[in-house]
Structure formats: structure tokens, C-alpha cells
Amino acid sequence: MSVSYQVMWNRLISVVEEQAQALVRTAFSTSVREAGDLSAGVYDDQGQMLAQAVTGTPGHVNAMADAVGHFIRRIGRENMYPGDVYITNDPWEGTGHLHDITVVTPSFYRDSFVGFFACTAHIVDIGGRGFGADANSVYEEGLYIPIMKFADRGEVDQTLIRIVRGNVREPDQLVGDIYALATCNEIGHRRLTNMMDEFALTDLSGIAAYILENSRRATIERIAALPRETASGRMEIDGYDTPITLAVKLAVQDDHMTCDFTGTSGVDKKGINVPHVYTKAYACYALKCAIAPEIPNNAASLAPFVISAPEGSILNAPHPAPVALRHVIGHLIPDTVYDALDQILPGRIPAEGAGSLCNFQVSLRPRTDAPAPPDAVRSEVLMFNSGGSGARSTLDGMNATAFPSGVMTMPAEATEHAGPVIIWRKELRPDSGGAGRYRGGLGQYMEVGAREGQEFDISLMFDRVDHPARGRHGGHPGGPTNVSLDDQTAMRGKGKQFVPHGRKVMMAFPGGAGYGAPSDRDPAEVKRDLARGYITPETAARDYGLSAQDIAAVAEAVRKGEAE
């Protein structure tokens, strides 16, 4: 029977991946279609996650792993029927901020309740102040949808739809995304019932027990193989107005690991706070990547990682703290955890990377300093970008690659299609990867403006301005974030800021840090980086000791087209 169950387990993973791809194909928001900022999963009748889609982010899926239990409690099993669809964007019972819509659908097979499908997507606008760090409480950050029925036995709640449409800037986009979320759950349900027909199942209890027990046992075996040690880690990050300290203590036990964030800074007055569910999501992800990466993600493989943070800290912010940019702090949790884990598993943990996504949202409108052309419009455009990842103990870091979020960098063409914004420049940033035996991944340069007749506010969501990624074991730090107008007027790394008609925003996204001493880097790899433009001649000479003759030889080979 175990062979059959293994086949079913693989099938379930395929089912939820098709569920996620259906969302990618049907979503209205570019954040879903182009960046993959979503998650999808299937759950047993107790609300335990059995499988997640490969497509998606750990912040969404690991937070969503806890969310279905809240839906069960709020809706009540006695009120669940075929055709129902449930919805919320509750930051504390969903995935951490109001800009994530979570939709849960009960799954019935031959009139018997067997489990749930759930999915989450980041939407471009939820009203309020807009996506950014400027709010002083969650009430300012947008429309709150409590856990409720979006559809009751197949009938969509039109009152809810009218309320949503009346409170957001992009109503067609948001309502379209809600329907896409509901539809992708329906796709998952259809594929599940096909599987149950094929394997003559009447419920999911057998396969659920197999998945959960094997995942739990395999994860505990990985933990049991570790030394029984404790270690502490810290990280200083930009914050909003003042720097923030993230502190953690790890402890390896016989059958679990604890991760305690006591010592972390308190709740911030601006919207960079993190609900505990999101802290748990990224701390678990960091540990699982390092210790048990090959074990599929589900409730049992996450359970042995016990995460705590003091209530009232920035990593366990209570209601009604503003939490819109919870990801900026949350994405730096893994590097904080790795600062401690490197002491327990030396030689296995990568250097720090950019961490936070380099997000910005542009709120465009007709210019107000002079008459605007008739085709000037209001529009909201959200763009996802990435800095470099940290170098690993045996490999260079990846350029412009989002770790830990896994969200894809959005193409300039897709962004320009979404509204009257112009991406004047988008290219890798030389010298931003920290020097080392293994070099950090490169960040990016971007220049952003608006079409003729438009002005805009830009909401920046950056970190690593004053606290770049730190190298490991002799590696150099990555390049910091820099942002200004095209006249060199400095801009803040976070917050909504006005950009006049005809001006551009100049952005330099951070690089990942290096691993090991730069003097140990293979000279051939230094020459390759120089030929590719990843480093400049100055860096090749200063950080790696490349001779003037070798630098000249590389330049000549590039000129002749002979370089790699």
C-alpha cells in the first residue's frame, strides 16, 4: 500500500501545482501573473496542509498552513456546504497583511466532506493609504475582510462585492482576482475527485496519515542528526525612522528545534510590523531549507520547528499595529536565523543576501503643475524586483534573485503594459556583489518615470540602505541600496514620495555578500567576472589583486570577442 500512497502523494503535489498555474493564468494582477506572488495548497478535513504548490512564496504558503484552522473555527463545520467559498485578508488569521486575499473552499466528494483547498494572492490595491509603510494603524491600510463566505452554496455575496468595489482604486482588478482565486480552488477540487475516483478512495484519511507521519519522521531524523547545541544571532536593519534589531536564539533538541526571537525590537509606529504567523512562516522556511530541504512542505514537516517571539515585538505585532510592509522585515528573518545556524553548521550556511524584495508602487495621475493631455489617467502599478542573493559555501550568489521569497522579477514590458509608467533602465549593477572566495549575487539598476502628462507618487519598500548584506567567513558586504531623483535629490528607502512631471527615480538595488576571503578566489573566476562586467577593473585590482597586465588582457579579449 505504501507504493500506492507514494503515487497519490506525488499526485496531490501535481494537483496543487495545477491549482496554482490556473491562478497564474486567470489572475488580473501583474503581481500574480508575472511575479508569482501566490500560494496554493490542499488540506485534510482537520485543516492540516497535505501538499503545497511548487509555484508560490514560503511567506504565503507557510502562513496559509495555519489559516485554514481559523476558517474552520470562524465559519463552523456545521455551516459548510458544497458550493461554499470563504474569504479573508485578515493579517493575523491570513498571511500577514491586508494586501493578501486568501480564499478557502471546502471539498466534497459524493456529498461527503473530505478536505479543503486554499490559495492566496497579493493584490495591487486594497484601498486606504495604498501599499506602503506610512500608516499608523491597520485601520488606515485598507479594506478589512473578516473570515466570511464569499459564496454560500454557489451564490456569490453581491453585497460584499459592492463593498469591495466601493473601497479600492482598482475594483475590476481586485474582483477579478477574487474570482480567479475561487476558480483555482475549483480546479484543484476537480483534479482531487478524479484522483479519488482513480484510486477508489472514499476520503483522504489514509493518504493524509501516510503523508503526515512520513514527513514528521523524516524531519525529526534530520534534526536528530544535528549536534545538540544552542546559538544566538543578530541583525541590524534600516527600519523606518530608526534602526531595528532582530535577535534570535536557536536550540537543537532531540525531536525539534526552537527558534526564539526574544531581544528583538518592539512594535514600530509605521507599517513595517510583522504578525507572528509571518514570522513563523519565514523562520520555518529558513530552518527547513538548511536542514530538510528535500522533504515536501506540509503541516508535519513544519511542526518540529517551534517558533516564538515576544508579543509586542516587531516580529509578533498585535492588532491594530500597521503591517502593510511586513514582508520587508519578514524577508530578513532567514538571514538572522542563519547568523545563529552558521555557528551550529559551519560551512553550510550562505552569506547574507538582499533579503527583502525591492518593491515599489507607483500611483500615477494627470500632472497638476500644468494642463494635462486628455489621455492622462489615474493608475496603480506595482513592481517586484530583486537584489542579489548571498554567496554560498561552494557557489557564487545568484544575480537579481529573490531569496527567501522566491518571487520573480517582473519584466519591464509587463509593468509598462499595466499603466502609464516607463522603465528607462533595468540592468545588473556591477560591483554590487560582495567580494569573496565566492562572490555575492549582483543587484540591479533601475530608472523609472511616467509617460508625458503624468506625475506620480512612488511608495518605496526598500531596506539595506544603511545596513548592507554582511559577508561570511571573510567575505565582503554586498552593495547597499541607493535611491534618488535624477537631479541627485536623495529619497528615503521607505514611504510614499512625490515625483514631479518629467522626473525619474534612480534606484540601485542591493547585492549579496561574499563568502570566504577574496584572496582565495580563483583568478580565472575573477577574469570571467571582469569580462562579463560583473566587476570593474578597480574592484578586480583592489579586492582580488588582479594585475594591470591581466586586466588589460581581459579588456583586449572582450574587444576581440574572445572572452567567455
Q: Averaged in consecutive runs of 10 residues, what is the pLDDT profile of the chain (564 residues)? A: 89 95 93 90 97 90 93 97 98 97 97 97 94 97 98 98 97 96 97 96 96 97 97 97 97 97 98 98 96 95 97 98 97 98 96 96 96 93 95 97 89 91 97 98 98 97 98 98 97 98 98 98 97 97 96 93 71
Closest CA to 534 of 403, 436, 440: 440
Max intra-chain CA distance, the chain: 78
- Geometric angle at alpha carbon 429, from 426 and 433, rounded to 5°: 140
- Strand pairing class (359-366; 49-52): unpaired
SS3 289: helix
Please report, as a single letter, which amino acid is at residue 129: R
Residue 146 DSSP symbol: -
In single-letter form, the type of residue at position 459 comes to: S
Q: Which residue's C-alpha cell is 463593498?
A: 163
Note whether 352 and 469 are within 8 A (CB): yes
Q: What angle do CA 157, 158, 159 make, to 5 degrees?
A: 90
Per-residue pLDDT at 563: 65
Q: Give CA–CA dist 512/476, Å, rounded.
A: 9
Query: Does residue 42 contact residue 116 with C-beta atoms inside 8 Å?
Result: yes
pLDDT of residue 380: 94
Question: Could you tell me the residue ranges of all domains in the chain?
Answer: 2-215, 350-521, 522-564
- Asked if 138 and 98 touch (Cβ cutoff 8 Å), the reply is yes
Grid cell, residue 406, equals: 522566491
Q: H helices of 144-236, where? A: 158-165, 171-198, 205-224
Helix (H, G, I), strand (E, B) or coil at 184: helix
**Residues 541, 396: Cα–Cα separation, whole Å:** 19
Among the listed residues 286, 274, 282, 281, the one whose alpha carbon sits nearest the alpha carbon of residue 312: 274
**E strands present in 223-281:** 230-237, 244-252, 257-260
**What is the distance between the alpha carbons of residues 496 and 131, in angstroms, rounded to a whole number?**
9
Beta strand ranges found along 125-167 (DSSP E): 148-152, 155-156
Instruction: Give the Cα separation of 115 and 195 in Å (integer).
Output: 14
Q: What is the DSSP letter of 96?
A: S
- Residue 220 phi, psi dihedral angles, 5° rounding: -65, -35
- Specify the pLDDT at position 423: 97
> How crowded is residue 461: how many other Cβ atoms within 10 Å of its Cβ?
24
Q: How far lies 244's CA from each of 31, 79, 97, 180, 238, in Å?
A: 28, 44, 20, 38, 6
Residues 6+ apart with CB under 8 A from 136: 269, 270, 322
